[in-house]
Amino acid sequence: MDGLHKGWFTEFSPDDLEKINGSDSDSKQLKSDGQEMGGAWPGQAFSLQVKKTLFHEKSKYQDVLVFESTTYGNVLVLDGIIQATERDEFSYQEMLAHLPLFAHPNPKRVLIIGGGDGGILREVLKHEQVEKVTMCEIDEMVIEVAKKYLPGMSCGFNDPKLDLYCGDGFEFLKNHKNEFDVIITDSSDPVGPAESLFGQSYYELLRDALNDDGILSSQGESVWLHLNLIAHLIKFNRQIFPTVNYGQSIVSTYPSGSMGYLICAKNANRDVTVPSREVSPSIQSQLRFYNSEVHRAAFVLPQFVKNALNQ
């Protein structure tokens, strides 16, 4: 059973899928150092109706599925987990990209780790001052299926500002120091190929790859599911960065309907919870989710989250 059943795709939590399939081969990846890790949401599942399966193969790293849904457009699924639907991807892509980009006064060099569907790249290229975008995606198959089946997301892959590397983000960072104004980690959950992107040593490499006024933005899971993991990420990042903030937005097809964004800055005086620049009318007209007020409001957290994160 892989989630495709009777005309519907069902996204189970990886641990529930193991139980349904009677295998526990990967369950050790779900727990680490006593922390509840992301990538698990036992006891709940989300389904989309499938019109047509467009692509389904195993890459070197993961199971890659693209299907046409009846009401959410084309849908990208990696290892059984929905990564993006054409209907609501703009919320995640815009927030993960524009929170750090508008918090930065003048972002010229940007690095994207992951982001193979191209959605983050599309958003970064909306900023005219960006001179060069470097992207490091481990799985070339994701880029290829995005080019073919997700044209609205992958429209930036031919841009002359792009330097594209296919390889491991962790290894890439070891050779790049003080180079980027903004780094965006657009990863899947910490189960499978993205596992190393949630550890302390990864964030230390990110800090070193940023310029002195550099800002980092990372996929930060959901406060409804992974509050312990989020508290853990924030705690160790406060040892690495002088400025650490957590925001969130609604992304309706992600588990529990929300996604968080961990935004860190190397400059202690940089307040990432407010934009540093005005959103020009020409950019605003291209945005469906983000605006300056949404930027500020993203960092206002429900009381139970404030309590848990000591904010």
Residue 1 binds a copy of itself, judged by CB under 8 A: no
Tokens matching residue 285: 């007209």
The CB-side HSE value for 117 (13 A sphere, CA atoms) comes to 28
Question: Minimum Å distance from CB 248 to a copy of itself?
Answer: 8
Return all residues near 128 (Cβ < 8 A) that are at least 6 apart: none
Binding mask 70-99 for a copy of itself (x = CB under 8 A): xxx---------------x-xx--------
Select the residue interacting with a copy of itself from 22, 28, 34, 43 (CB under 8 A): 43
Tokens matching residue 63: 């199971």
Question: Minimum Å distance from CB 71 to a copy of itself?
Answer: 3
C-alpha to C-alpha distance for 259 and 255, rounded to whole angstroms: 9
What is the residue type of 194? Answer: A
Tokens matching residue 156: 């930036």
186 is catalytic: yes
Q: Which residues are 280's β-sheet partners?
A: none
- Active site residue: 2, 186, 212, 213, which one? 186
Span 17-36, contacts to a copy of itself by CB under 8 A: none
Question: Minimum Å distance from CB 12 to a copy of itself?
Answer: 9
C-alpha to C-alpha distance for 168 and 231, rounded to whole angstroms: 26
What is the residue type of 102? Answer: F
Residue the block writes with tokens 């990846």: 29
Run of H or E including 216: strand 210-219
Binding mask 190-229 for a copy of itself (x = CB under 8 A): --------------------------------x-x-----
Chain residues binding a copy of itself by CB under 8 A are 8, 10, 16, 42-49, 69-72, 88, 90-91, 222, 224, 248-254, 256-258, 284, 287-291, 293-294, 296-297, 300-304, 306
Q: What are the residue numbers of the active site?
A: 186
